[in-house]
Amino acid sequence: MTDPDLAGARLTIDLDAIVANYRLLSDLDARTECAAVVKADAYGLGADRVAPALAAAGCRTFFVAQVEEGIRLRALLPEADIHVLNGLPPHPGTERVFDAHTLIPVLNSLGDVDRWAKHVRAGGATTATLHIDTGMCRLGLSGDELAALAADPGRVGGTEITLVMSHLACADEPDHPMNAKQLAKFRAALDRLPWGVSPWGRTSLANSSGLFLGPHYRMDLARPGVSLYGGTPNPALPNPLAPVVRLQGKIVQLRDVDSPQTVGYGATHQVTGPRRLATVPVGYADGFLRSLSGRGTAFIGDRPVPIVGRVSMDLITLDVTDIPAAECHPGALVDLIGPHNPIDAVAAQAGTIGYEILTSLGARYHRDYVGGGRGGQDR
């Protein structure tokens, strides 16, 4: 837990906004169950706070990436369905861990199918999710593996496949031809499975952006992640989701400078006239990316202030020349992520995506959780 008076920055996480985003996504299609992806510690925002808030709002299906994430989540949510996207670790015997914590493995290869079938025959849990690759070329059964399974359906043994899924590569680009191609491949793959979709499994294709591609993509279960946390599903359109995070750094020093002085490592910023600089104790060790050097923008109130010089490990420097002294003093808060510079705007300035900004948010921030039924408990 970080003392708010001692921390260099405050990260506010709005649990009510996450719940509102979940409800908006759920309401897109009454036929589709809306799950929640809470991998990577709920995209850096704290699964221990986010997941219970979502469960209280009615979410009953969750996805994580790693087995250990599933174990931690099970301790929080004893009744939820928890799917592990990365599936079975390669080490023998790890199937028993899924049983011990009632986790559902995502079977990503024919080898995974065989291992889980063997586990079922030995008396283990039967439930699993089957992942079919339709174009990502990461996880999921390849076309050859799908053909082999279709030719020998007995390989699943007594496995109860309750969900058949795939993953979209270009859903944030609605006009990309890959979307329709993957939808067609997924439907064709479902037709090849000897048991079809019924009586065992439901289908899932849509991620956050996929939900906005239309009803054909939503299917039985959607798996939103970044949209729950305020990320935009379509960069070309206004974001319909509520902002979730606000990152405010504290000014620790003000300095008047003039030409020919330079700012920061590498002397990359040349002062060309009388300026006033503010130093804020946030840097790349806190997940405030170095690529924001000389190109990022913070805000004091509704006034933009540019980052000048390099982002260093623990500090950034802002040009606050045009800010009234009453609003700019040691201890004053500066919005690094906020109403005027949301996650995706900061990501664009950094040359990356909102996912990286969220999951990089550092441990040195004082975290203030608001909403979610328990008020602002900090950590």
Q: Which active-site residues does the annotation give?
A: 39, 265
Contact 341, 298 (CB under 8 A): yes
Distances (CA, A) of 252 to 72, 150, 270, 301: 38, 64, 22, 17
Long-range CB pairs of 264-272 (<8 Å, 24+ gap) are: 264/293, 264/308, 264/309, 264/310, 264/312, 264/317, 265/309, 265/310, 265/312, 266/310, 268/293, 268/294, 268/309, 268/310, 269/294, 269/308, 269/309, 269/317
Q: Please list, in sequence order, all residues whose beta carbon lies within 8 angstroms of the beta carbon of residue 329, skipping any fewer than 6 positions away.
A: 251, 254
For 185, list phi and psi in degrees, rounded to 5.
Answer: -65, -40
Angle at 267 between CA 261 and CA 272, to 5 degrees: 40
Burial degree of 246 (CB within 10 A; 0-12, 13-18, 19+): buried
Q: What is the dihedral of CA 185, 187, 188, 192, to 10 degrees?
A: 130
Asked, as a colleague might, if the bond just before 52 is cis with ω within 30 of 0, I would say no
Instruction: Enter the tokens of residue 106.
Output: 């995502």
Neighbours of 127 (CB within 10 A): 19
Q: Residue 35, Cα to own-chain centre: how many angstroms?
A: 13
d(CA 5, CA 290): 26
Closest CA to 378 of 48, 76, 41: 48
Instruction: Enter the tokens of residue 237.
Output: 């359109």
Asked, as a colleague might, if the bond just before 199 is cis with ω within 30 of 0, I would say yes
Closest CA to 87 of 111, 105, 113: 105
